[in-house]
Homo-oligomer: A and B are copies of this chain.
Amino acid sequence: MSELARTVEALLFLAPEPVTFVALREACEVSDDELQDAVDELKRALEPGTRGLELRELAGGFTLATSPDAEPAARRLLARPRTPPLTPAQAETLSIVAYLQPVSRPEIARIRGVSADSAVTTLLERGLIEEGGRSQFGAVLYRTTPLFLKLFGLKSLDELPDPSRWDPTPDEEAELRDRLLRAGEARAGGPPPLGAGPEVVASAGPAAVEPASEDPVGADG
């Protein structure tokens, strides 16, 4: 195959959309005739039944497409839920959403001690979590999906395992959410700066403060 035809093949491989004749000619810096020859050569090389790819000419220009013969195998490989093993960050994020739902991104980040953005994005893409309303401060809240239940083999959220089995201090009375937030703060390097948050004062004395129920999430974001 001529170098120009090879280049055209590479360009069509890379372009997500059809490429016009003119755009190809400018990218290859050749004349109309030279490009026409190369396109013809590529068309012959990719004649249906020859390769896994075919050259198609659409209204918008040229594009590479897979031959229909590969469709069943492609469906088996690609048209199914993606379920690669969860990374530690994804497992952590998913468990927070599963047990505390609905829960906002800043709250997840506070519990983890680090940002959860990329894990949240991946879990959304895979359909394990979805948006479910907004907090009173406008933050998007996340919850698990029916697909989540299916992939974990659960009939309902009630079947989530009791986390007390893994609880390092099972005698703690406080609510799960509060305990997670406290541990997350400690991981992130202790409570907020001196005197900044109501927590600091709250620990100081009895009813000294009624923290005006500042949403811990809103305060963070």
Q: Which residues of A contact B (CB under 8 A)?
A: 1, 3, 5-11, 13-15, 19, 23-24, 26-29, 45, 50-53, 64, 66-67, 69-70, 73-74, 76-78, 87-89, 113-114, 118-119, 124, 130-134, 138-140, 186-187
Contact = CB atoms under 8 A, between A and B. Distances in A.
Chain A interface SS verdict (over half): helix
Given A3-B69, A13-B53, A113 B138 contact: yes
A140 to B, nearest CB: 5
How many copies of this chain?
Answer: 2
A13 B187 contact: no
23 contacts: A1-B50, A7-B52, A7-B70, A7-B73, A9-B53, A10-B52, A10-B67, A13-B53, A13-B64, A14-B74, A19-B77, A26-B76, A27-B73, A27-B76, A27-B77, A28-B73, A29-B76, A45-B51, A87-B130, A87-B131, A88-B132, A89-B130, A138-B186
